[in-house]
Structure 1
């Protein structure tokens, strides 16, 4: 998002929702389309425009700067997708394909998917031959170790926490910016092409863990601390040509990237230009009009709700809409660490009071979102949603008021909710629901680029926030621990467990499940743990959202990747033709 934090689409005009929203369609005839039962139409192979040609300039139209391109700190979508497919490579990566095929991992910098030993507590990877950075210097195993070490640095907050959780690092290890390197008890680098990870406990799916940008190489000589985000040293198919923060990023080819070593990234365009100065409505207008360079452009952030009717009522424009399930759960987060939401009865009252049907309408209605009834999305519960509390979709106010009385708060209370500016309508739906049980909510709508830092700061965090979480790979291990493991909470830069929920028995069960090698047993255990945490009610699951993104008519190879929150996969996108 946090990685795996996503921005949900706000409400569209209700009348247009009955028309259905066109999802990923390809260059094939619409006769191949099939309705998935939710008013969403998918066509062909889910890829728009066929196979791209080599060359030309891909334009990305955005309403915001990247908060982070430093691989140590990159854990937000679509920034992670962008960085991993253009600027840096990792030990393993996901295939570039829609659907189930996109959930498969393949070697990237490594020669294979890793060799486990010592009961999956030790993992060994060997690097491919001839790997180089943008200046032609060799990529070596110690560069990957160095980036992993950087993820422990308090000066570089916000990135994936898996290394901190898994590695057998000494207590109090503060990272290389404090002059500390990890010893062989945590990471061994016996030679330039071998890296060995020693874990505190067995992690059967560590080959998936190393798809994350924490496991990309960063050479020590290029260290720039917090400034590294301005120019990460490229190991991928593109390098930064110019970067004017908040205005424009230009990528050009990394001529030292060897496509023979990279089975995934096709790097079709010669150049990628990210324009960060536009408004959401303006981006939609330009892509709908489809003129000039905008034919070679794609949308970075979700389609603005006011423009949904203009898209779904025009077949030509609708055919250029990429929209698929993001596999993410939108949640109403409550700060469990301080009053009043340190009271479980109050949190349960909020759970019962929320009108999820109204919230669903605020994010586009049934065509664009399903009502969430557990934290784990259906993709992690065997494809079928689980309804834990069986609360009516409009809420149960009598039960909510009873719980308020049990919490000793019959007289009501005042609190605040932090949301990004694009989610104000969702916040208003929450506000209206809670008003019915005398919880008065003030909305604090902030710029998307600072929302995560506010919610992640113990002193700035408000009682409520709308957040989202998506699995880093298809496993409950990348979902519940990142939301509810108390050991990953930090005072500032808190990227996981934003509810600041603490339960030692939950932590212990997460550790136990992580050692299970039987996939079915692990999945069953994650489901049971999801139910246990739901009863504690640290947050309220709201919706499982789709992600609508519009592309220009000359775009080819565009599809929603199933791992990266249904963002467009930058590995294979390009142009149909080059002028």
Structure 2
């Protein structure tokens, strides 16, 4: 998803920035921060002061039932609400959050029980109850509240026809025998359900505070901060939630007294201000990544470069080949494209090595134990002779004509791809449309082009949030790709997805996802071409800026703070 990149969501890579890989499902190559510098002088953050966040956009959603954009998920779950489990700072390691542990499975992983900690409270001092977590999970089923993660819908028993609690109906597969206990009954075993509940869907919302669609503008805080002011598309001000108890929270440090999000700062202006590092901007961090045009100014100045955190973002850039019709219904033609693509040229079009690393696999390193897999071992610039040979084997004579749809922002990458394919006799037409129209075209089975530039991000560190979403042909409907933008329907792959999804051992499942990735690559519905890097600037008074491997390498707002609070005024 994700015109802003999204965890487990389609990346509209061709519609944002150059290839869109610098825009919401992150991941360092080893699950760790790969920072150019996390603080300017080794000084750590201290309590107090105002942290400024400079942005050129409003949040897509802050309602935890609807929040499924990577930056916004990191913002919401670190500052405004807590989930049953969460991630360590700058790490993909799962730790308990509202729950006392990572969950207790039974019945072979089809039933999961969580117990809430003592002393967890909302911003008004009332205790957080298991029923409140149940209520928000139920809200995620509501058609009135679209846009959020769909894992509850996919996993919970009896959810197929459930339409949420707004009309008074509740879901029987979530039980709350008391205020501290919540039990989830699933359709099938989900070995990694303790990771699933890191998503905002599993944050608490007390029914008395629910305002339907208006809850988006004023979530009721269970985290370290609460909303003092929110003027949409202008400014958000957070202040401390005095009822948040640090003793119950091993992850969030809540260093600043206030956090002010300025949402009307142009993207280039953000970089200019943070490079200049004057006044309150010394205590600021960019909410969007550094613009391509600004990178030379950063990289040529060692003092500024120290103030940029740079991490592989955990998402994979993919070229989707439309397998539903000729010529890409032929696997040999698809494999020919694997060999024809010049990934170095696509990397250059994105902005070079500081913006992206060349990918040789579908799953990003954050899902493979930090290993950068190279499955087909094709040279980064391609293998023209091999591609031509494969086309000959496929019976292609006289070349091929195909079409790609993108926006102006995606034009440099599209042209690089066009040049590479032309070397092997594939003539690719580029149709430019409005950025807002790209997603509607590329995901529509009746309108989708032959090839498209896109990508995918995981929602949590499991292949289950990646391969089934984009390669299960059963997700395709009459009107939508369902995330499967190559329109790939393969019985062998779907059988393997079902087999792995039924596993109760998460370690065995992780190995099986890698084996499935090998199988999918042999059938070539997509060409993985890059793992993007996230580059974020921060002021000289900011400390603790570490890129988080799940939230696209964006700074972990749970541990960021100021060196000298008095400088933030």
Give the TM-score band, short-chain normalised.
0.7 to 0.9
Distance of 2:434 and 2:234 partners within structure 1: 22
Q: CA deviation at 1:319?
A: 0.8
The 10-residue stretch of structure 1 (80-89 or 426-435) with the greater mean CA deviation from structure 2: 426-435
- CA distance in 2 between partners of 1:249 and 1:44 (Å): 28
1:413 corresponds, among 382, 387, 401, to: 401
- Farther off after superposition, 212-221 or 484-493: 484-493
- Corresponding position of 1:3: 7
Aligned to 2:278: 291
1:51 to 2:55 alignment: no
TM-score normalised over the length of structure 1: 0.84
C-alpha deviation, 1:313, in angstroms: 1.5
**Are 2:88 and 1:72 equivalent residues in the alignment?**
no
How far does residue 572 in structure 1 lie from its aligned partner after superposition? 0.9
8 Å Cα contact 1:48-1:555 kept in structure 2: no
Shift of 1:424: 4.3
CA–CA distance in structure 1, aligned partners of residues 166 and 443 of structure 2: 22
Aligned residues: 545
Aligned to 1:257: 244
On the 8 A contact 2:366/2:549 being kept in 1, the answer is no
Partner of 1:524: 511
Using the TM superposition, give the Cα deviation of residue 286 of structure 1 relative to its aligned residue in structure 2, in angstroms: 0.8
Moved more, 568-577 or 45-54: 45-54
Q: Of 285, 307, 318, which residue of structure 2 is paired with 1:320?
A: 307
Cα distance, 1:428 vs structure 2: 3.2
SS at match of 1:240: strand
Instruction: Answer yes or no: is the 8 Å Cα contact 1:73–1:156 preserved in 2.
Output: yes
CA distance in 1, matches of 2:153, 2:303: 48
User: Could you tell me how far 1:139 is from its partner in structure 2?
Assistant: 2.2
What is the aligned partner in structure 1 of residue 428 from structure 2? 439
Matched residue, 1:138: 127
Cα deviations across residues 439-490 of structure 1 (Å, max 9, x unaligned)? 212233626xx86677556677555443332333333223212322344456
Quote the residue 1:28 is aligned against: none
Structure 1 stretches of 5 or more lacking a match? 13-23, 25-35
Partner secondary structure for residue 412 of structure 2? helix
Decide which of 73, 88, 104 is 1:115's aligned counterpart. Answer: 104
Alignment of 1:376-455 (within 5 A): 376-400=363-387, 406=394, 410=398, 412-418=400-406, 423-436=410-423, 437-444=426-433, 446=435
1:84 to 65, 77, 87: 77
Assess if the C-alpha contact under 8 Å between 2:38 and 2:546 holds in 1. Answer: no
Could you tell which deviates more after superposition, 297-306 or 42-51? 42-51
In 2, Cα distance between the equivalents of 1:336 and 1:251? 48
In structure 2, the residue matched to 1:152 is 141
Structure 2 residues without counterparts, runs of 5 or longer: 20-27
Deviation string 1:67-112 (CA, Å, 9 cap, x unpaired) is: 222222222221111111011110011111x3xxx22222111122
1:168 paired to 2:172: no
**Residue in 2 that maps onto 1:32:** none
Say which is worse superposed, 330-339 or 402-411, in terms of deviation.
402-411
* Mean CA deviation greater in 549-558 or 68-77: 68-77
Moved more, 63-72 or 318-327: 63-72
2:386 & 2:128 partners in 1: Cα distance?
60
SS of residue paired to 2:118: coil
Aligned to 2:86: 93
What is the Cα deviation at residue 398 of structure 1?
A: 4.7
Q: Which residue in 1 is equivalent to 2:94?
A: 105
| Local SS of the residue matching 2:109 | coil
Alpha carbons 1:456, 1:491 under 8 Å: kept? no
Q: Which residue of 1 aligns with 2:556?
A: 569
Residues 98, 116 of structure 2: 8 Å contact kept: yes
